Amino acid sequence: MSLGWGAEVAAVVRKEFRVELRGRVGLYSTLVFAVGAVTALGLASVRGEPSPSLAAGLLWVAMLFACVVGLARTFLAEEEQGTGDLLRLIANPGPVFWGKAIFNFLLIVAVAGLVVPLFVLFVRVQVADVGLLVCGTLCGCAGLAAVLSMCGALASRATGRGLLTGVISLPLLLPVLAAGITALRGAFGDSVSESWGAVASLAGMAAAFFAIGPYLYAAVWKQ
């Protein structure tokens, strides 16, 4: 049974990758926004490097910019294309939510893999603690993926869904960003004792969001 469930999730993830790779719109726009945002930040810091705290904030803003535009799309695209009904006919909500959330997480990690090195290179910040940078970024990506997946799912069947996803996810992302900034401040050289605590609370938040997300998605699945 659990094996069957895993196969269902894998089928959804595979389907998402196929649709997204063949459609390409979401991937290209994410790429352009990610590189564009980091370039703009690089231009702003031509003279002198920003403080660790500011650098951490800028990095998360760049991530947010790249992710909100391109990646909340998985649930939205489903309703825009009208394929939501097909999915509701053939699938169960749990695997659909997990498949899409995992797909979102993998894409956000890929975006981070592009944005973070580029940011360090362009904005010329000193990385004091690589472990903290990697852990903080990964946990932050999980938080972003959880919030964006759920908010995309909740907004997908409303009028003005694209705008609404931004409206409802941004406030929920603020606590994630606050913790993410605290985590990366330490990574960029601010000697703060709270950074690992912030990583832990990022992980906790992401876990809480991921834990309740599937249940809520199942509850609104056939409304």
Partner 1 sequence: MIYRIFLLLAGIGVTGLYVWAPGAKGFPQEESAKILFFHVPPAMLCPLFYLWGAVMSIRYLRTKDPRFDVRAVAAIEVGTLLCVLATLTGMVFARVQWGAFWEWDPRQTSIFIQLLIYAAYFALRYSFSNQERSRAYSAAYAIFAFPTVPFLIFALPRMVTFTLHGGANQAVVGGGLDPTYRSIFYTTLVVILLCFAWAYSLRVREGEEWLAKEESDGLATGGSDTADPGVVRPVRLRDDG
Partner 2 sequence: MLRLDLPSDPRVNRVARLRAIIIAAMLSVSGLGKRFGKRWIFRRIEFCLTPGQVLVVTGPNGSGKSTLLRILAGLEPPTGGEVDASGAVGYVSPELALYAQLTGSEHLKLASKLRRGSQGCDPVGALGKVGLDSAGGLRVGAYSTGMKARLRLALAVCHRPGVLLLDEASASLDEEGKSLVERTIAEQRGSGVVVLATNDPSERRYGDFELRLGG
Residues that bind partner 2 (CB under 8 A): 4, 7-8, 11-12, 15, 18-19, 22-23, 81-83, 85-86, 88-92, 95, 222-223
The dihedral of CA 32, 34, 39, 40: what is its sign? Answer: positive
Token pair 């990022």 in the structure block, residue: 202
End-to-end CA distance of the chain: 27
The Cα-based distances of 50 to 66, 67, 117, 128, 183 in angstroms read 21, 23, 16, 14, 16
Site string for partner 1, 130-169 (x = CB under 8 A): --------------------x---xx-xxxx---x--xx-
**Least CB distance to partner 2 at residue 2 (A):** 13
Written as six digits, the tokens of 126 are 């000193």
| Longest Cα–Cα distance in the chain | 59
Asked if residue 189 binds partner 1 (CB under 8 A), the reply is no
Q: How many residues bind partner 1 (CB under 8 A)?
A: 33
Whether the CB-CB separation of 88 and 222 falls below 8 Å is answered with yes
Partner in contact with 95, chosen from partner 2, partner 1, none, beta carbon below 5 to 8 Å by kind: partner 2
196 or 221: CB nearest partner 2? 221
DSSP string covering 115-129: HHHHHHHHHT---S-
**Least CB distance to partner 2 at residue 145 (A):** 22
Q: Enumerate binding residues for partner 1 (CB under 8 A).
A: 150, 154-155, 157-160, 164, 167-168, 170-172, 174-175, 178-179, 182, 192, 194, 197-198, 201, 205, 208-209, 212-213, 216-217, 219-220, 223
